[in-house]
Structure 1
C-alpha cells in the first residue's frame, strides 16, 4: 500500500513534490491489537450539540481507487455541495489509495470547504494510503468498527509494476509526502509524528515509553487502536469515535435528524470519463468538419459532424469539471473570427490569426482545471499547476497531430469515394472538348490599361476602361468605388487590377 509516484515526475526539478501518485493495492492485514488498554472515545475536537432538525448534511462517497476518473466525479460533487450550502459534509471513505496529484487536489477542495462548514471523514471501512491523507484534512475522523487507516508510503510504479529504488531516490520521493502529512496534521490538530509514521518506515512513533510504531514498519491503525488514549495524552491517537453507520456519526456531531443529501455518480459521469480520454480525437474531427463546412457552400454533413463532435467534447469536459462557459465562449469567438476572415475580409490577417489563437486557447483551457482557492499549508506549496499544464500540452499536441493526419487522409481517400463523386463535379471542358465562352485574347488586350472602379472591389467588382466595363478582381486589397486601377494580370477571362492612387475620384 503506498503512494505511487511516476518515474518521470520523480526526477522533475520543477516540483519538489516529486511523487505524482498514491497507489492502489490490496488492504494490508489488519494488525493485531496491542496490550495497551483501550479507553473510551474522547473527541479530540469539540462536537456540535443539539438537534440537526432543519439542517442539511451532504454525503460524498470516495469508494475505490483515487484516479483521474474519481477526481472528475469529485469536482462535480463539490460543485453540488457548494450549491446545496450544507451545514456539514461527510466524506464516506473506502479506498485502497491512488494518485498523489489527485489526492492533493481533493485535499484542497476539502480545505476550501472547511471555511464554510465542517468536513468529517468516515472511514468505512478503509482509508489506506491516499485515503489516510484525505482523512487528515478533515475536521474530525470517525471509523467504522472494522475500519483501517494508514500505510501511505510512496513507491514508484512504471509500466512493469513497482520499481526498485536506491536510497537517495527513496528519500527524494518520500520527502514531500512526509512534510505534507505533517503540515496537514498540524493544521487539524492530529499528531505530526503519527502522520509521518504512516509515510516513512524510518520514523519511530511512540508516546511516552509506549512504542506505537517501531522503526522499519509503517503505521496502520484499526478502529480500536485509532481511538486509544495513551498516557500522558488525553486525546485519542487519531479518530474521535467508532460509529457503526452514518446516523450514529451524525448523532455524535449533534446533527441527528438532519436532512441527508447523498451525492450519486450519474451515467453522465461515466460517459464523461470516456469522452475526456478521446477528447483530442473529438476536437480534431470537430475542427476538420467546421473547416470543411466553411470552405463549401450551404450547410451539410461536415458541419453537422463538426458541431456534434465539438458539442460532445465540451459536454464531457464540462461534466468532468474542466470546461466552463469561458472555454466555450473562446471557441465560439474563434469560429466567428475565422468565418469573418473567410467570407467577409479578404486575405488572411488579424481576424484569422485571432480566431486560431482563440481556438488554441479554448482547447488548452478546456483540459486545465480551476483549482479551489485555498491558503497553502504552512511551509508547503499548494497543488502545482505543472502536471495539469503538461496534460493540456499533450492533449493540444495530440489534437494538432490528429487534425493534420485527418486532413491528409481526407485528401487521399475522400476523392475516391462514391459520396465525394456525387457531391463534386470533376469533369472539365477544354478548348478541344467543349465550347469557349469567350475570346481569351480579348481580355489580354487590357493588360496594363488604366481605368476606374465602378463598384467597391472586395475583391471582386467591376471597372470601366474607356467605354468598356469589365468584371475584375483586386490583387487582395479593398478598392473603394471611384479609385483609379490598372490591369496587372490576365488569366483567361480573369482580370486582376491594382489600385494606382490613394484618393478616389469619379470619372
Structure 2
C-alpha cells in the first residue's frame, strides 16, 4: 500500500429548529469532553495500556495515538503497547505519531499483530520508532517508498527530497535503539519489505511473540531508556491490560478528516447560507449552513490545504448572491461554478504529495452542477417575479371575493377583508340573500359592483345566475358585419 501524503417560517418548522439545535449542541458538548475511555478500576495497580492502530494513518489516528501516549503516562501504566496492522498513511500524521513516541515519558512497545498483519509504509516508521519493536508470526514490515495518494510516482526532485528525509529519520531511529539501520533504510529507497523471521534474524526489530501475553512475558525485566535519559526496567509479566479506545469526539474527528466529507460540508454550508441571504428570515437554511461551516473549518484546518483555493470557494458564494441581486441573468452563476470547481481542486488537491489524499474530482463536478442549477432556478424565479405586473389599490380588489352582510336587492352591504362596503349587483342579477359569496367586478367611488360566485347558485328571487360574460357573448352574437 502507498504512503499517502497525505420570511416567516411556519410555527412547526420554527419549533423543530428550536428543538433540534439544543440537541445538536448537547451532542457536540458531549463529544467535546469525550476521551479515551474511562480510567479502569485497577489504574493504580500495575497494568499495561493497549492501543490498536488497525486503519490508515491519518490525522484522526495521529490524534488518538498521541492521546493514548499521554493517557498511559498519566495513569501510571508500566508501558503502552501499540498493536499495528496498517497499510500506511500520510507523512504529516506519521511524523506526529513518531515524534510522540520518541518523546514519550512512558515505555512504548509496538507489536505487529495478529498473524498476517502488516506494518507497511508509514506503519513501518511507527513500529520502529518505539524502544521495543515486536512482530507476530507471518507478519511483515516495510515497503515505505513515498508515492502520491493516487499511487503514482512523484516528481524526481520531490521524490529525492522526501526519500532523503525519510532515510535520515529511520536511520537515526534505528541507530538510537541499536537496530539494523541499513536494511531499514532500504524500506524507503528500494520499497523493501521483510517478513517476521527476516526482520528478527537481521535485527530490524527486537523480538517476536505469538500473543500479547507472551510479548509481555518476554519484555519483562528489559531496560528502556526514555528521551529524558532516564532508564526504566519493565515489569509487565502478569500485568492487567487496559485497552484504550477512541471517544466520541475522536470518532467524529476522524470522520470529518475525509476530504470528500469536508467538501460536502462546504457545499451544505454554501447552499444554506446562500438561501438564507437570498430569503432572509428562513432561519433553517442559515442554521444548517452555519453548523456545516463550523464543521468544515474544523476538518479543513487539519488537512493542510491551500488557502488560496478557499478564497476562490468563498468568491463562489459572493457571485451567487450577487446574481440574485443584480440583473446578470445567470452570468455570475457561471462564474461562481467555475470559481467553485477551481477553488475546490486547488484547496484540497494541491498538496497531496505530502499531506494526504484529496477530494474526488467527480464529486466536485457533480456538486458544482447542483449548485449551478439551484442558483439558475432561483434567479429565474426572481426574474419572473420582478417582471410580473403586481396590481395594487382598487385594481387588486377586482376579482376578489366578498360576503353579503345584507340582502342585495340589488343594493346592500358586503364584507370585504373585514371592511363594510356598499355594494350593488350588476345586471341581470336582481337579488341575493345575506351570507352569500360574491365576486367584485367593478368599483365606483366607495361602492362595489358585484356578481354572485358561480358556486353560490341563483339569487333570492330565483333569477338564474348568468355571468356578465355570457350576456356580453350573446350581444356579440346578435351583431353582423
Structure of larger gyration radius:
2
TM-score by length of 2: 0.49
TM-score by length of 1: 0.47
> In proportion to residue count, which structure has more helix?
2
